[in-house]
Structure 1
């Protein structure tokens, strides 16, 4: 029999065709390569040769425009320094170590470019056709260093090759870095004294590593003992355009070269920088305060002008600008007539808060009707019962049903579904609380109709003292209730807490501002109100671009002395270093909010309302800030913080002048003198201070404790409300399932009736309400949504609005 051959399949089912021969990829291949990016495909597909040529021309034109714009910005930035009559380049030489001599450093830098020593810090550099103005502030005066760096276009930090940077030098670095700084250079002093010479590169590497911790862009530390390195530093200072500081470049400012008096009128000489200087705007001059401008005149040129032109200029006194009718006045508050014309109807509740029968909850007063209607109690129905079936159940007040639940006949409104991590039962948030069943057994149970024994006050005094001592010990260990207060049995809680109110939800409940009118500061209605901060800021910043005397002009500014400013008083103060022109409205007072980050190096918590010195832009103010929690809330209500702990950030609020834009803030605190010590310790401390004069600052005994930035003010339609919270706690005396008798929260039945509408809460997240008062000593019954343990604490939260305090100008004599 012939064998049947095996059946074979072909090796593959796909035919291998020849590839498509083309020099370029097909359209489908380009689509796959672009991965869906339509613009890339359209840009690469050119239909005609004309379009391809035009696109190349467009690209070249665009690159040329960018190049021209960059060159134009560079010329505009350096135009104030161009020519012999150009403005001098202001250089601040800051010595970070005690053995650094700034005068010697300046002399070596001038000698490297063959500049003759004239004994003045203003020199001309013929090699680079520019002028230099050196500032060498006293390193023991922190504010003098900050003023010099604030007005300087270049800052040269000088490190010592033999000594480390002390505490004062590091404090200066942190302050200068926080307030904003322009172009930075770093030099090493005394490197030629390091022996052996092979250690010098290692010293430079160590100094570079240290300065990079503060300014990471520093690529080199120059050897100021070398003539070549000093020449390189001078080349960088004379040819580089300073990068500037954002908040400073938005304003007109100038370094004050000279101050002279013409009668009772001060005249300030300097070169305008930044924006154009307008005579209608006010000017700020450090400790001297705020002034109006009388007129602005040009200083006669010292360059190529002939004698005849100089004589004519002096004779005619070239007037550049005078104030117009639109000149700003020195009034910080709105006139009282403006507030009196608008008749404000004060609510009756604000005038007689103690006459209210019940506490204010959100924006409503419950149980205030003449004939009080009983609230409809929730019905007890089986679990899963629908709303329609609930209407067919008769009222049953029994608490014994295990499968029964409370159902309100009317919804309470929208619940807070934002899920705040920091919110808890004390602020009316119960959704995120993990409800754990109490492990303790319930104490004595009782029937609701049981007669309540009303003990005498003398018998309860010892019990109250023992209970509060136990609560204090627990609070010190666990810090359960940081806002808890204790009421005295002899104090009427209605009068003691008349200004306080309740909130169902701290985050979402509306705050009735009309009830606070009676307690607001007298000047509150006269403060500046900014309805739309963003548009107002853009409008006033655009005004600075139009008109005024052009930047780069050397001028004489005649100031108008106000009534409270005398010549003798101003001459007794130190001469100001800079003049800053204020933007429109920047002298008017409003409620200022600024972020504040307390340094982790500060050892103790900072108490609210404590006196601080704040530097914000060109101003220094003495403030007593209120601390509140940062963030945004729907009702713009923020919790008042009694303390700001190290390493944390809060919002500091006070009443002060307006500052447009985000301006860095520095917070200083006066050093508290140590208590009297024995004679031996005093002698040792004096010897230590004499041996280390840089370890302390005799002229500025201040410490930098925090930094921050100004924040936009709240609109008048939704003002920022700082609410101070207090917590009253009570002890669950008797417990019968969800019905609890609470004591030690109030001490009279009138107080219980007054605060009856407030929501109760426990540490474990239970919530409830007051049912009825028991006796006359403040005991009351309360119902909760779950079982309450005997070791749990019942609390109630009350809130009061607190108002920021006013700030004043800091002067050196205040320290």
Structure 2
């Protein structure tokens, strides 16, 4: 008989629970996967449908020799589609397909206007890149692609027209070359041909069914592209008034109580949101007046007018003054806040006298004050190495028998000690005259020039020359010495500039961002829904905005999240653009494209580290990521950052790309300067150093600061020698004659208030053939 194995009940229950937990995890993973798939399908079906906004397609020509008119005409003539011409001169039209239940809005981008191109990409659902069949794209097309990739690309389609016009023998070779060119920028992308109406229908189907790519800075904000704009003056001059912008709501719901940002023009308030009839309906309704028998023609006309009145504009929302956000962007500083008393003249004089301390030393009788100043202190003798010669120790014991613990007779104590030792007081300026008598000033100047010539090629950016026409303690009065750059404390609220009284600051920026995003997710159905065609009434808008739109430039609107109109210190993490070899010095005005904003400012560069303090950079380097700090309106990450340098001829060169890091005014950026000196006379652990300072007062002022050398020695200043800046220094070891003594000084730096929301339109970009060596550019 076969034996039956008995399994304990507890072990069986554990096995069943483990199996059930495994099945639960599997079902949960399948459910999450199914929900994500359904969300993607719902997004595809919503975009371009009757309940969603039309599919916004921006056609971008990447070559100057392309004829966009013939391509757009081919798309318009698709069979079975209803054409709505909005602005045929500027290449704007709408297509409605009742068969596919889809609708599209096509806009042709002006490749010569970089700002218009970037603004259209901010709101586009799909980019239609049009390539040349032989060359693909030119230099300007490559430059535009670099800017678009840095800003963030939505879904895109590659199309080429005119491939059938190429001879059959060269057609295959041309296709291979074009495919190799496309793989560098667009891996795994398919190229669509547009030569027939059937191919244009396939293009529309691909645009409608492809997966949508998201841009981080527009996922949590509502935005719209203006289709119609009207201006109603509010004053007698007619320069300021209410701007009525009509368009489709995209992204998120549009709340009338929030602020709205017109890209390139500033922040404004909304007063009202209307709901006019949809200009591109998927199923247009035909109103046929019903005429009864016996009813005359005039009654029929009245019935038609009533039908038109039903389609009048409906008011959706009006702004609530109590709940509407304010346009205040700066804090009004209080001049009496943080008032402090300044030291009196008596306190300043006492501080000066404290630097001139007198030193008392016990030396042999007959020793002059000049000789006594060269005798080492007891602390220095105790710090000497034990590896000195025995003969030196014996001589020291013979000369200083009075310091031993052996008993001494009264006669020796009365006669010998008085003859061999006495107490000498050394004032601050004891040996100035005698030391300067042996100093050759001509030789000093000659050696100084020699050192400067030798150091020209080896000087690193932080090393500076001490000025000779100004006291160093005045030139570097804002600097301080640190025992350790990494561990030394630095109060972020100490000695703040006046501009810090004008900005806003978060107690915890990332926590506030998380709370605001959570509130936005909870506030549903509070405004105009996504896909509605609305008219937004924007108050206090200048007339120049309407003129900008009438010239053919796109008008893009973005709603602002709470606090995004307020000024603060914005930190951006950027990296040098590979196509630009020219260094960008500090204090130069740069054009920023940060998310949906565009402004000008002179940035402050610093290193990107995990420490609390960050060293400042002189210019934007090519080898590592750099943090750029500017005064700018608050923007919540994530947001892309583009930095452009303005040429003198009006062109904008892309110099760096990156992303928004944080909004933190407490981020400490430290500037370091290094003062260097050279050893003049070298003893065992002491040395006379010159050329670091050039007067006695500076040596006394910087005496507490620690010294270091390029060969790793550390020390400190003991006392000044003479009046020409020579000083006696003590180190932890003997110096080498070729060594250099350094002193590190640190100062916190702040960005300058150079924020300017107005950015002039750039002219067409032309590739610069001049290559500049960064090492030849003055870093100051």
Q: Cα deviation per residue 1:488-530 (whole Å; 9 max; x = unaligned)?
A: 333122222211111111111112456524xx1x231221111
1:192 equivalent in alignment to 2:164: yes
Aligned residue number for residue 431 of structure 1: none
- Unpaired runs of 5+ residues, structure 2, are 234-240, 288-303, 362-376, 390-429, 764-780
Q: Cα deviation per residue 1:452-511 (whole Å; 9 max; x = unaligned)?
A: 854479952x445433433343333333x4222223333122222211111111111112
Q: How does 1:224-239 map to 2 (within 5 A)?
A: 224-239=194-209
CA distance in 2, matches of 1:63, 1:22: 42
Q: Cα deviation per residue 1:293-319 (whole Å; 9 max; x = unaligned)?
A: 011111224555676886455557333
Aligned residue number for residue 76 of structure 2: 110
* CA-CA distance at 1:609 after TM superposition: 1.7
Aligned residue number for residue 423 of structure 1: none
1:810 equivalent in alignment to 2:758: yes
Aligned residue number for residue 542 of structure 1: 518
* CA-CA distance at 1:46 after TM superposition: 3.4
Q: Cα deviation per residue 1:351-407 (whole Å; 9 max; x = unaligned)?
A: 99x95988xxxxxxxx9969969899xxxxxxxxxxxxxxxx9867278754379xx
1:403 equivalent in alignment to 2:403: no
1:249 equivalent in alignment to 2:249: no
Match among 192, 212, 219 for residue 183 of structure 2: 212
* CA-CA distance at 1:68 after TM superposition: 4.9
**Are the structure 2 counterparts of residues 161 and 458 from structure 1 closer, same or farther at C-alpha, using a change threshold of 3 Å?**
farther
Match among 244, 261, 272 for residue 231 of structure 2: 261
**Are the structure 2 counterparts of residues 88 and 734 from structure 1 closer, same or farther at C-alpha, using a change threshold of 3 Å?**
same
Q: Cα deviation per residue 1:772-810 (whole Å; 9 max; x = unaligned)?
A: 111111111000011111221111111122111232113
Alpha carbons 1:744, 1:778 under 8 Å: kept: yes
Alpha carbons 2:573, 2:626 under 8 Å: kept: yes
**Are the structure 2 counterparts of residues 776 and 513 from structure 1 closer, same or farther at C-alpha, using a change threshold of 3 Å?**
farther
Alpha carbons 1:622, 1:809 under 8 Å: kept: yes
Aligned residue number for residue 703 of structure 1: 653
CA distance in 2, matches of 1:536, 1:62: 32
Aligned residue number for residue 440 of structure 1: none
* CA-CA distance at 1:155 after TM superposition: 0.5
CA distance in 1, matches of 2:386, 2:258: 76
Aligned residue number for residue 428 of structure 1: none
Aligned residue number for residue 108 of structure 2: 136
CA distance in 2, matches of 1:637, 1:494: 24
- Name which of structure 1's ranges 151-160 and 106-115 shifts more when overlaid on structure 2: 106-115
Alpha carbons 2:135, 2:178 under 8 Å: kept: no
Alpha carbons 2:242, 2:538 under 8 Å: kept: yes
Q: TM-score, normalised by structure 1?
A: 0.74
Aligned residue number for residue 46 of structure 1: 16
1:507 equivalent in alignment to 2:477: no
Aligned residue number for residue 49 of structure 2: 82
Q: Give the SS at the match of 1:781.
A: strand
Aligned residue number for residue 60 of structure 2: 94
- Name which of structure 1's ranges 593-602 and 67-76 shifts more when overlaid on structure 2: 67-76
* CA-CA distance at 1:638 after TM superposition: 1.3
Q: Give the SS at the match of 2:77.
A: helix
1:608 equivalent in alignment to 2:586: yes
**Are the structure 2 counterparts of residues 809 and 463 from structure 1 closer, same or farther at C-alpha, using a change threshold of 3 Å?**
farther
* CA-CA distance at 1:534 after TM superposition: 1.6
CA distance in 2, matches of 1:224, 1:233: 8
Match among 188, 193, 197 for residue 223 of structure 1: 193
Q: Give the SS at the match of 1:747.
A: coil
**Are the structure 2 counterparts of residues 667 and 294 from structure 1 closer, same or farther at C-alpha, using a change threshold of 3 Å?**
same
**Are the structure 2 counterparts of residues 464 and 233 from structure 1 closer, same or farther at C-alpha, using a change threshold of 3 Å?**
farther
**Are the structure 2 counterparts of residues 607 and 267 from structure 1 closer, same or farther at C-alpha, using a change threshold of 3 Å?**
same
Match among 654, 660, 671 for residue 630 of structure 2: 654
Q: Give the SS at the match of 1:225.
A: coil
Q: Give the SS at the match of 1:81.
A: coil
1:516 equivalent in alignment to 2:492: no
Aligned residue number for residue 418 of structure 1: none
1:477 equivalent in alignment to 2:467: no
CA distance in 1, matches of 2:116, 2:453: 49
Q: How does 1:419-434 map to 2 (within 5 A)?
A: none
CA distance in 2, matches of 1:333, 1:703: 31
Q: How does 1:492-641 map to 2 (within 5 A)?
A: 492-513=471-492, 516-517=495-496, 520=497, 522-545=498-521, 546=523, 547-561=526-540, 566-567=542-543, 571=547, 575-633=553-611, 636-641=612-617
**Are the structure 2 counterparts of residues 155 and 786 from structure 1 closer, same or farther at C-alpha, using a change threshold of 3 Å?**
same
**Are the structure 2 counterparts of residues 650 and 200 from structure 1 closer, same or farther at C-alpha, using a change threshold of 3 Å?**
same
Alpha carbons 2:274, 2:316 under 8 Å: kept: yes
Q: Cα deviation per residue 1:435-460 (whole Å; 9 max; x = unaligned)?
A: xxxxxxxxxxxxxx999854479952
* CA-CA distance at 1:190 after TM superposition: 1.9
**Are the structure 2 counterparts of residues 113 and 236 from structure 1 closer, same or farther at C-alpha, using a change threshold of 3 Å?**
farther
- Unpaired runs of 5+ residues, structure 1, are 1-19, 29-40, 359-366, 377-392, 406-448, 674-699
CA distance in 1, matches of 2:313, 2:137: 54
Alpha carbons 2:272, 2:315 under 8 Å: kept: no
Q: TM-score, normalised by structure 2?
A: 0.77
CA distance in 2, matches of 1:168, 1:356: 66
* CA-CA distance at 1:72 after TM superposition: 4.3
* CA-CA distance at 1:130 after TM superposition: 2.1
CA distance in 2, matches of 1:540, 1:374: 64
Alpha carbons 1:452, 1:774 under 8 Å: kept: no
Aligned residue number for residue 727 of structure 1: 674
* CA-CA distance at 1:208 after TM superposition: 3.0
Q: Cα deviation per residue 1:588-620 (whole Å; 9 max; x = unaligned)?
A: 010111012112432232211211101011111
**Are the structure 2 counterparts of residues 569 and 46 from structure 1 closer, same or farther at C-alpha, using a change threshold of 3 Å?**
closer
Aligned residue number for residue 143 of structure 2: 171
* CA-CA distance at 1:655 after TM superposition: 0.5
Q: Give the SS at the match of 1:531.
A: coil
Aligned residue number for residue 773 of structure 2: none
1:124 equivalent in alignment to 2:78: no
Q: Cα deviation per residue 1:643-687 (whole Å; 9 max; x = unaligned)?
A: 2223432111111001101211001111245xxxxxxxxxxxxxx
Q: Cα deviation per residue 1:105-124 (whole Å; 9 max; x = unaligned)?
A: 22222334454664452222
Alpha carbons 1:260, 1:267 under 8 Å: kept: yes
CA distance in 1, matches of 2:152, 2:548: 30
Alpha carbons 2:642, 2:657 under 8 Å: kept: yes
Aligned length: 666
Q: Give the SS at the match of 2:693.
A: coil
CA distance in 2, matches of 1:531, 1:729: 41
* CA-CA distance at 1:250 after TM superposition: 1.3
Alpha carbons 2:136, 2:181 under 8 Å: kept: no
Alpha carbons 1:272, 1:554 under 8 Å: kept: yes
Alpha carbons 1:300, 1:313 under 8 Å: kept: no
Alpha carbons 1:250, 1:275 under 8 Å: kept: yes
- Name which of structure 1's ranges 639-648 and 501-510 shifts more when overlaid on structure 2: 639-648
